[in-house]
Amino acid sequence: MDLGWSGSEQSFRREARAWLRANVPERPLPSGDTRAGFAAHLEWERRLHRARWSVVSWPEEFGGRGATLWEWLIFEEEYYRAGAPQRVTQNGIFLLAPTVFEFGTPEQRQRILPRMAAAQDLWCQGWSEPGAGSDLAAISSRAVRDAASGGWRLSGQKTWTTRGAFCTHLFGLFRSDPEARRHHGLSYFLVPLDAPGVTVRGFARLDGDEGFAEVFLDDVFVPDRDVLGGVNQGWSVAMATTGSERGLTLRSPGRFLSAADRLLDTARQVRAAHPRRAAAHRDRALRAWIDAQAYQLFTLEQVTAITEGRPVGAESSLNKLFWSELDIRLHETALDLIGDEAETEGPWTKGFLFSLAGPIYAGTNEIQRTIVAERLLGLPRK
């Protein structure tokens, strides 16, 4: 693994840095998990697209720059360093899109990806159900074949759908063969949320933002062209999506490197007024900063593996465990440094509340530890 950057990669970094410096809003946008904030973020997403920065690693025909994975990592580092707005299109761009590239037909790629890159179609995830959280094989939402109409009838309920109240489309698993075993008989569907029979009901999260939704489907018709990856092949398609969610594409190290640098800045500021408190938490702050560097090195090793054609597989579970627990350590340390003067509405408090969800979403950490034990360490199943 070469840790140096080539001349062209350094040039790419300079171009990205210059554009971000000239375009990132001076004031932070309101939370993208509120309706008003989501609308403001969409304007930002469309500005990114007009400058071809919304999907830098995609081929140019779909709105990207054809950048390499290394250049994508560089862009992510610069993006977070610049304090640019959160990406409210991330479920589509970072989760669904890699799956469409791998399993989609040419027609699906042409129809779905350019509109996703331009933030015209906004995608949310339809995994969790009231009776099936991280256990995807337990889902009960069903798909019944409607041969006369050339499609499927979907019924059931999805919940914990991030930004579902603001999005236009949903991707998710439905049971298309009720007689098959748990992991079989599932199909992966793409569903417009304005279709007859769809009801979307938003609800608030722990931090008060309204970004979650429940989605009810009552005999919703979806044509055959909106099955992704083949009928009853949904499990393997979904595993590709969850691998993206737990691993590289959703959690680039840029986010944690930026947070670690901000943590050290906070420690320096606290040291000026409260030297004893700063000293008490010095080692924790340094440990968190070092862990962020370690995560970056682990990611670089994974990118090396991918570019050499080696599969990442279950190692994405290691990623998920590491970044979700690192995120909590970073924010807990910052709040302890600030002490009784901790802001109640500031970015560290807001970030801490969100970090608590990390061990739950993208598959709970208990599930990830089971995967690591069985698939990476070769330990026997219970």
Beta strands per DSSP E along 159-254: 169-175, 186-192, 198-203, 212-223
Which residues are paired to 201 by β-bridges? 214
pLDDT at position 33 is 87
In this structure, the strands spanning 123-126 and 169-175 are: parallel
Distances (CA, A) of 177 to 143, 148, 152, 233, 374: 8, 18, 12, 11, 28
Residue type, 240: A
pLDDT at position 342 is 67
Q: Which two tokens stand for residue 224?
A: 């055959």
pLDDT at position 47 is 96
Distance in angstroms (rounded) separating the CA atoms of residues 271 and 281: 10
Q: Is 177 left (phi over 0), alpha (psi -120 to 50) or beta?
A: beta
Instruction: State pLDDT tens for residues 192-211.
Output: 999 999 999 988 877 777 88
Residues of the chain with confidence (pLDDT) below 70: 1-2, 133-134, 242-251, 342-345, 382
* Residues classed as catalytic: 245
pLDDT at position 308 is 85
Phi and psi at 171, nearest 5°, equal -120, 140
Distance in angstroms (rounded) separating the CA atoms of residues 197 and 337: 51
- Ranges of H-type helices in 182-314: 234-246, 253-273, 275-280, 282-307
pLDDT at position 87 is 92
* Residue tagged 């393997």 (tokens): 236
* Residue tagged 């015209």 (tokens): 120
**Global pTM value:** 0.83
pLDDT at position 133 is 67
Helix (H, G, I), strand (E, B) or coil at 195: coil
Contact 280, 125 (CB under 8 A): no
Task: Tell me the DSSP string of 128-161.
Answer: -BTTBSS-GGG---EEEEETTTTEEEEEEEE-S-
Separation of CA 356 from chain center: 15
